[in-house]
Structure formats: C-alpha cells, structure tokens
Amino acid sequence: MVTLIVLILSIIFAGLTLAIFSIGNSVDQTSLGFIYLGSYNEDRYDSIINHEVDMWMDNADYKIQYQDYIYTIDLNRLDFDLEQTLLHIIKNQENKAYFNLSIDHLLMIQNEIDAQFTSAITTTFKEELFISDLMNDVSDLKNRKIYNLVDYLDQTIATTILDQVEMKFITSTDINAIISQVNTIYITANERFSLLDRLGYLPLTNEQLSIIASGIQAVTMNTNLNGFVFEQNYSLPIWASGGQNVRILRVNQFDFTFYNGFDLNYQISIEKINDTTLEFTLLGYPLVTEYETVPVFQVSIPYQTIYIYNEDINELTENVMIIETDTDYTYRILIQTGIEGYVSFFMRTATRLGETGITSKLFDEEMLPITEIYYENIVEKEGN
C-alpha cells in the first residue's frame, strides 16, 4: 500500500510539474496572415505590420484570367486600415488585415477589366461578388491569387452564338439519320477532340459522319481551335465545299481531330432546317481575340482531255463541234467540262485586342482536276 501511494503521488507530482512548465513556456501564436507577431511586444505591432504589408502589396500577385488574357490587379489601389487591423487583433490566433476600397479606385479597376476583356463580355460581370472575394483574400494577405473571370459572369453568356453554317444538298435519308443520333456535340476544354472517339460508336455511315465532321470544320475555323488533322475528299461531294470538306472512314481510321487550348468548353448544335439542309451552330463564351480564316490560292493543277470514239456522231448531231481539215471532218460532243484542280492554304489571322494580327496556316486543301471528255468521230473526206 505504501509503495502504491508513493507511485500515485509521484505521477500526480510529475503531471503538475509538466503542466506548470508547459504553461510557463507556451509560445505566443499571434499572427496577421503570414506576419508572425508572437515574438514582438504589442507596442511594436504597428511598425512591424506597416513594413510587412507594404512589402506584401508590392510583391503579391493577384490576377484575373479569361481565355489567354490576364489582368493584373494593382493592390496599391487598396487602402490598408492599420487602425482597424490593430483594433481587431486577438492574441494567440491568426488575424485578418483590414483594407478599404474607395469608389474612385473601384471605378478604375472596373474600367480596366472592361478594357482588358471588352465590355461585350463583362456586361454580366458580377462586380460585387468579385470585390467581396478580393477583399476576403487580401485580408488573409495571400501572396498569389488567380481569379477565373467566368466564375463572375452570368451563365447565359456561356452559350453565345459564335458561328453558324448551313450545309445544303444533303439527302433526306442522311439528314434524318444524323438528327436521330446527334443533336449536340461537346468540345472539352484543354483537350484534343476526336470525332471517332466522340461519335464513332453510333450507327451512322461514313458519309453521315463525314457530313458532321465537315459541318464542325466550317464553324470552328474562326476560333482558337487549332491542330486540325483530317483527310479530305479530293472530288467534292455535292454537300461539301472549300473549308467544309472532311472524309471519315472508320476502317482506315480517317478521323477529324483538333485541339482546344482554352480552359473553356464549346458545344455544337445540329438542327434540321429542311429535307436537304442542316444548320451547325457553335456556342460558347465570347472570344476576345478576333479570328478570321480564308483560303489562299497556291497553285493550279491542269486537267486532261480525253476523246472517246463514237461513230454515231455526225454533222446532224445536236451541239456538235465540227473541225475540218484537208483530209477529214472531226465531229465532237462535249460530255464533261474540264475543271482545273488547285491547292489552297487556309490561313488564319488572329488579332489580339489592340495588337496587329498574326497569320498562320491552319490546314491545306487540294482539289484534283476534273477531266474534260468528248465523244469524237473522225470521217475521211471522199477521194482521200
């Protein structure tokens, strides 16, 4: 019993001693954001805080980003309130700094945001929400903060019509098959789009997938989307045209791909206009940079002319061409008009806000020539 009592008393004594020393040696954990104040007397708080906040305002990095544009916020527009900051400091905890934003400085920030991203985009900018987030972040004296502008825009602006194209002369069978399977196609941010990955599993023919791919090509040329990789039809289908000409072939892995380098999604809607026409509409957030893609002719490819013998042609044949020599008559009927082929580069000019446009090749397109064909009959003159 005596031993047990001594043991218990020893444990109690050790616990009390440890508690007394812990209390006596506790470290002051007072801080203001990243500024540690625990090692300073309170009468030095004002000078320490002023110095550290001045350095923070000169070096902190606060930005707003949208697409490939960035606006850097000048934190010196904020007025640091030392008096309120000192008044609200509580010992042994992390405290907040107090800042004020005057109406004049608020208007400056607002005007600079409009100029950087254009008022067409910032008309739905939720200024109060942004300023509230900004003031909360600076009160914690965060060293770096990047705000995404779209987080402060009305969601209706995400479905702005960016481009529209009508594709005509499509068979009603193809139109109905496409509409029954596809109404909206999504283009994901920061990813390479693949038509076969997105739609290749659907019960659509190669021709129908080619129509969809060609419509997507037509409405995406005047955007930031780049890295177009595809095969083309060298003889144009009736529904195709320059810059609207993609050939999809599952077996050969003829795909249509491109890259979306923005952190914003797009979507393409497909709508039936009539029995032979589809409308492709590109929807997304408005673009700040202007993009314009045009075909630039490079070289022509001559066509060949062939003559097919046809003994039924004579001088009485309708629309006959007669060529007479000393020895014979040549009778010709034009069956197919020859058309020269060509090679064109589709050149995109990207004009950033307030800057000179930069032009680069988006893709090239080659059209094979169409052979000119005649029926021909050569008849020797009598006596030769």
Quick one: pLDDT at residue 10? 61
Q: Which residue in the block uniquely carries the two structure tokens 């812990």?
A: 22
User: What count of other Cβ atoms lies within 10 Å of the Cβ of residue 149?
Assistant: 21
Report whether pLDDT(5) > 70: no
pLDDT tens column, 166-218: 999 999 999 999 999 999 999 999 999 999 999 999 999 999 999 999 999 99
- The DSSP secondary structure of 151-189, one letter per residue, reads GGS-GGGGGEEEEEEEE-S--HHHHHHHHHH-SEEEE-T
CA trace torsion 188, 165, 367, 206 (10° rounding): 60
The stretch 108-129 carries a mean pLDDT of 93
Average pLDDT for 313-318: 92
Judged by average pLDDT, the poorest of 29-43, 97-111, 270-284 is 29-43
* Predicted pLDDT at 21: 45
pLDDT of residue 16: 55
Nearest to 272, CA basis, from 383, 210, 183, 379? 183
- Segment 133-144 shows an average pLDDT of 96
Alpha-carbon gap, residue 232 to 223, rounded angstroms: 21
Q: Does the structure show a pLDDT above 70 at 14?
A: no
What are the boundaries of each domain within the chain?
A: 24-153, 156-287, 288-384
Amino acid identity for residue 97 in this structure: A
**What architecture does CATH give domain 288-384?**
Single Sheet (2.20)
- How crowded is residue 291: how many other Cβ atoms within 10 Å of its Cβ? 20
Note whether 293 and 219 are within 8 A (CB). no
Query: Are the beta carbons of 212 and 198 closer than 8 angstroms?
Result: no
Q: Which two tokens stand for residue 1?
A: 């019993």
The 10s digit of each residue's pLDDT in 117-127 is: 998 899 999 99
Q: Could you report the per-residue pLDDT of 27-81, keeping only the tens digit for each?
A: 788 999 999 998 899 999 999 999 999 999 999 999 999 999 999 999 999 999 9
